[in-house]
Structure 1
Amino acid sequence: MTLAEAARRRNEARRNRTAESPQGTVDPSPSGTAVSSARGAASAKGSLFGWPLLLGFLGVAGLLALSLFTGVYDVFGGDGGAQMFQITRIPRTIALVLAGAAMAMCGLVMQLLTQNRFVEPTTTGTTEWAGLGLMLTVIIYPDASIAARMVGAIIAAFIGTLVFFVFLRRVSLKSSLIVPIVGIMLGAVVGAVSTFIAVQTDMLQSLGIWFAGSFTSILRGQYETLWIVAAVVVAIFILADRFTVAGLGKEIATNVGLNYNQILLLGTVFVAIATGVVTVVVGNLPFLGLIVPNIVSLIRGDDLRSNLPWVCLLGIAIVTICDLIGRIIVMPFEVPVSLILGVVGAAVFVALLLRQRKVG
């Protein structure tokens, strides 16, 4: 059995179980994975491209165009408007695309590997570990370049994600709520350690700035390293079938000839790279990897391959909308995008929990 065949059989089995369920939903798996409704599963399409996706591209393109021309400075009539447009507006918009797509994909990968829809870098402590690595790098090497800071953040994020997976294996009860609670607790401990170190080294203000996700400081010459996460997104597209099979569990993945531990390690590396880079350049983008895959799955079902473009587009759209609101709401000042994204993400998180309780 090939990986693609295993993925197709998984979707067919889910659709069959959905049709037989009196409530129109499938019973949650022992790991607590919430499964899409019958309507969502039926709407999943095998084709990767179509006119709905084209409309999605056009909608996101419209939001990005609006981002390019939104701001206090008049890029049309002001002195040096063209320069300001190239130095600030274009880099900021590119950063919105890269960060939004990467963090949404990270959430999708983590949900597959943990078989839990409530998992993403914010709810596993990965972001807090990346912040700790960034701070320790600056403490040890005060003049560290942005590349060196990224290396420190990526290594710490990788270690933290591995710690989460190891801890998760030792937890006997793996309901849909226990898993993210474990991650949030681990993240809280790491955050407390980071705060203590920051107080001792007089870096508390810097720590607050790093965790306040914002695109305000994105300028030409400072955002280019974000292109690294574009490679992560492409790699996830290429390995989508393998991640899908790994999401079925270690036993099934091994039976179809997949090296489960290797895919788990590879997924951890991808998540660590994307989270570390985004944390250093932009900051924390809470709940983005949680809400995007869940919304796409509710609408389109669980056909991972055809959902990947939608996950990217929706991630970009949500980040762009939150950034636009942050720029407009208290103009000429700006509200950090993490604040607005946190409010929206928390509301969606609660809604997902209530829905899980209702169908479970």
Structure 2
Amino acid sequence: MTTTAPARTHRAPGRLFDPLLLVGVLAVAGLLALSLFTGVYDVMGADDGRQMFAITRIPRTIALVLAGAAMAMCGLVMQLLTQNRFVEPTTTGTTEWAGLGLLAVMILMPGAGIMPRMVGAIVAAFIGTMVFFLFLRRVSLRSSLIVPIVGIMLGAVVGSVSTFLALQTDMLQNLGVWFAGSFTSVLRGQYEALWIVLLVVVGVFIAADRFTVAGLGEEISTNVGLNYNRIILLGTGLIAIATGVVTVVVGNLPFLGLIVPNIVSMLRGDDLRSNLPWVCLLGIAIVTICDLIGRTIIMPFEVPVSLILGIVGAAVFIALLLRQRRRG
């Protein structure tokens, strides 16, 4: 699979850990501390403040960390495997497929718990991502813009099917709630399944070098002794797990996997392994900032984090397109 990607910035490989990384960790820790104490309910002064702090604020902050890191790394892996900087789960239809799987489980098993819904979303996300990769292999025009357009078109078709099924089964309102990414409903006892995405983060760290080689194309990967198709399956599986779990627990987080890897690459170059901690940190930071804005902009009400992320992500997407156009 070979695609024409935007020009890459080549710099000397960086170390996995450096002093600036500690500064980044401290900055993100400050944002998370702010998240713990931001909200309408007075967790410091109320009689049951400590209990509410443990039930709502701590789970929400943990969910911000896990979802932000996992979806940012999913975008990075997908960009490597497609050799295109403009793809991520929401521009390839993966999120829409996860939603379709979730909807199918709810229609067939109305009383299903979170695990069956999660399995349905993961399986559908895996199938959808593989369909995207297979379709991409048969597209003759593989410019950096054609690839995300193909993904968005496939996602639109799947989204239309989901909407039709939801209308037929009176579940359209539920579908809207699922796709409105928000951390409002993240509570103790309802978010623990999100810890599964930690396996995705660890898996990406372990397979980073293999993903890098696979990103050079099937021919080069085969020549150096790498099983290209197996790496594609591994990457697709990790992406499907993260997307399915996050979709069920949190909802849609648009453009996160697009903007984070591109920002890190522009600042630090394309050394994948040394960039991984920065991708995690920036993903967590962006999700936390957007969540804080959503919590405070019309307090005491909340704006879904997906709305803020959509605005920010769309602006960055346009900026990246213009930047590529200037480079020719």
What's the TM-score bracket when you normalise by the shorter of the two chains?
A: over 0.9
Aligned to 1:63, which of 31, 35, 40? 31
Alpha-carbon distance between aligned partners in 2 of 1:158 and 1:113, rounded to the nearest angstrom = 15
Q: How does 1:192-341 map to 2 (within 5 A)?
A: 192-341=160-309
SS in 2 for 1:98: helix
Q: How does 1:129-144 map to 2 (within 5 A)?
A: 129-144=97-112
Alpha-carbon distance between aligned partners in 1 of 2:149 and 2:256, rounded to the nearest angstrom = 17
Aligned to 2:16, which of 48, 52, 55? 48
Cα contact 2:2–2:83 (8 A) shared by 1: no
2:132 is matched with 164
Q: Give, in angstroms, the shift of residue 35 of structure 1.
A: 2.9
Q: Which runs of 5+ in 1 are unaligned?
A: 1-28
Cα contact 2:2–2:217 (8 A) shared by 1: no
CA offset digits 1:191-249 (Å, max 9, x no partner) = 00000000000000000000000000000001100000001100100100000000000
Is 1:36 aligned with 2:8? yes
Alpha-carbon distance between aligned partners in 1 of 2:249 and 2:22, rounded to the nearest angstrom = 30
Alpha-carbon distance between aligned partners in 2 of 1:301 and 1:88, rounded to the nearest angstrom = 38
Q: Give, in angstroms, the shift of residue 30 of structure 1.
A: 6.6
Cα contact 2:78–2:235 (8 A) shared by 1: yes
Aligned to 1:119, which of 80, 83, 87? 87
Equivalent residue letter for 2:46: G
Is 1:101 aligned with 2:69? yes
Q: Give, in angstroms, the shift of residue 31 of structure 1.
A: 1.6
Cα contact 2:264–2:278 (8 A) shared by 1: yes
Cα contact 1:214–1:336 (8 A) shared by 2: yes
Q: Give, in angstroms, the shift of residue 34 of structure 1.
A: 1.6
1:175 is matched with 143
Q: Which runs of 5+ in 2 are unaligned?
A: none
Alpha-carbon distance between aligned partners in 2 of 1:235 and 1:266, rounded to the nearest angstrom = 9
Equivalent residue letter for 2:281: L
Distance 1:340 1:112, change over 3 A: same
Alpha-carbon distance between aligned partners in 2 of 1:70 and 1:36, rounded to the nearest angstrom = 39
Cα contact 1:232–1:270 (8 A) shared by 2: yes
TM-score, length-normalised on structure 2? 0.99
1:79 is matched with 47
Alpha-carbon distance between aligned partners in 1 of 2:250 and 2:320, rounded to the nearest angstrom = 27
Cα contact 1:99–1:229 (8 A) shared by 2: yes
Q: Deviation above 6 Å: which 4+ runs of structure 1? A: none
Equivalent residue letter for 2:143: S
Q: Give, in angstroms, the shift of residue 46 of structure 1.
A: 2.8
Alpha-carbon distance between aligned partners in 2 of 1:104 and 1:250, rounded to the nearest angstrom = 24
Q: Give, in angstroms, the shift of residue 50 of structure 1.
A: 1.1
Alpha-carbon distance between aligned partners in 2 of 1:68 and 1:173, rounded to the nearest angstrom = 48
SS in 2 for 1:34: coil
Cα contact 1:30–1:175 (8 A) shared by 2: no
Alpha-carbon distance between aligned partners in 1 of 2:2 and 2:185, rounded to the nearest angstrom = 44
1:25 is matched with none
Equivalent residue letter for 1:255: N
Alpha-carbon distance between aligned partners in 1 of 2:74 and 2:40, rounded to the nearest angstrom = 33
SS in 2 for 1:218: coil
CA offset digits 1:62-98 (Å, max 9, x no partner) = 0000000000000010120000000000000000000
Which is greater in Rg?
Answer: 1
Cα contact 2:99–2:121 (8 A) shared by 1: yes
TM-score, length-normalised on structure 1? 0.90
Alignment size in residue pairs = 328
Alpha-carbon distance between aligned partners in 1 of 2:250 and 2:4, rounded to the nearest angstrom = 32
SS in 2 for 1:286: coil
Is 1:184 aligned with 2:181? no
Equivalent residue letter for 2:41: Y
